[in-house]
Structure formats: structure tokens, C-alpha cells
Amino acid sequence: MRGDLSAGWVKCAGFGEMYSFDERERELYFEGERLDRRWTGEELAGFCAGCGGELSSLGCYSTPGGWLVASRCRGCGSIVLAEYDSRWAWKGDREVAAAPPTPGPRKMPRISEIPREELEAVFTPAELRDMERCERGEPYLRQNLYRARAKYQKFERLFGVRIDI
């Protein structure tokens, strides 16, 4: 039910199916096809069967039969893929084993490579300034970066570009 995510990817086996999870991109794949991600965020998702530590959710994905929630244990660091039916009744956890990536990871553009008009449509000038400073390794205001991070999914939804600073 748990797996080591040393390379950023895990494969989850269950009932003759193979899932791949990329924690860095927070994408879940079923036999090489990306599943529809409905939500990402770090919320309490339960407790680890291995060590009893809290599970922090990494993402929620819709499937024809319900939902899959990927979580990481804050205690031992293992990854859990929990399966739920369409009414959110827990069906079980999927077994996880470390595996190399199936699809190649996407290159994330630098802030300076993204058109300024797109950035300004979502982020404030202070957020943009501190995102650029953080990317260059310069001092920045942490609160502005927190506010900007809360808007990353909106930016990706609008412009199809993923930002992760």
C-alpha cells in the first residue's frame, strides 16, 4: 500500500491495472494516459497504515468508477493511492512500488520566459517581483510568494503553463 518516491515517480498496481504518479507535477497516469486532475492541495487525508502518521493529500483524480486520492505520509514519507467510489465511500488503497517515469517530465518555463501580459492577468506586481526574486535566489517577501502560489492552478487553467517556484 506504500511506496518510495525516490525518483519523483511511483507506479501503483492493483487489480491488473497500472498507475504512475509524478509527485513533482502532481499528475496521475493510468497505463500512460493522464487522468483528469480535479484538485491539488495539501489537506489531511487520513492516517498511514504503516506508521500511523498523518497522510497529506497531493491530488484528487476522477475515474469512471469514482475517485483516486494520492497522499504522502508525513511520518515515513510513503505514498498512498486511496480509491473511492462516486459517493466517496472508501474502497481501498492501491499498492505502490517505485518506478521510472513513463511520460517525460515537462520543462517548467522561467518567469522571464512567460509573456508579461499573461502573468499580469493573474498575479499582482508585488507577487511577480517576488516570484522573479525567488527564482534568481535573491531575497523576497514570503507572503507575496504564498499569495502567488495560491494562483498557480488558475494560471495553468487559463494559459496552459505550469509554474512552480
pLDDT at 26: 76
The domain of 119 spans: 111-159
Report the Cα 134 to chain-centroid distance in Å. 21
Pairing of strands 36-39, 54-63: antiparallel
Give yes or no: residues 16 and 91 share one domain. yes
Q: What is the pLDDT confidence band of residue 110, given thresholds at 50, 70 and 90?
A: confident
Cα separation of 104 and 98, whole Å?
16
Q: What is the pTM of this model?
A: 0.51
Task: Count how many domains the chain has.
Answer: 2
Asked if pLDDT for residue 119 goes beyond 70, the answer is yes
Q: Percent of the chain, pLDDT > 70?
A: 79
What value does the mean pLDDT take over residues 111-138?
91
> In the beta sheet, which residues pair with residue 92?
83
Asked if pLDDT for residue 113 goes beyond 70, the answer is yes
26-50 pLDDT tens trace: 777 776 677 778 877 778 888 888 7
Question: Pick the residue with more confidence: 129 or 17?
Answer: 129
101 half-sphere exposure, CB direction, 13 A CA radius: 14
Give yes or no: residues 82 and 140 share one domain. no
Q: For the chain, what is the mean pLDDT?
A: 78
Cell of 114: 512567460
Instruction: Tell whether 145 is covered by a domain.
Output: yes
Instruction: Tell whether 2 is covered by a domain.
Output: no
pLDDT at 94: 78
7 half-sphere exposure, CB direction, 13 A CA radius: 13
How is residue 113 annotated by DSSP? G
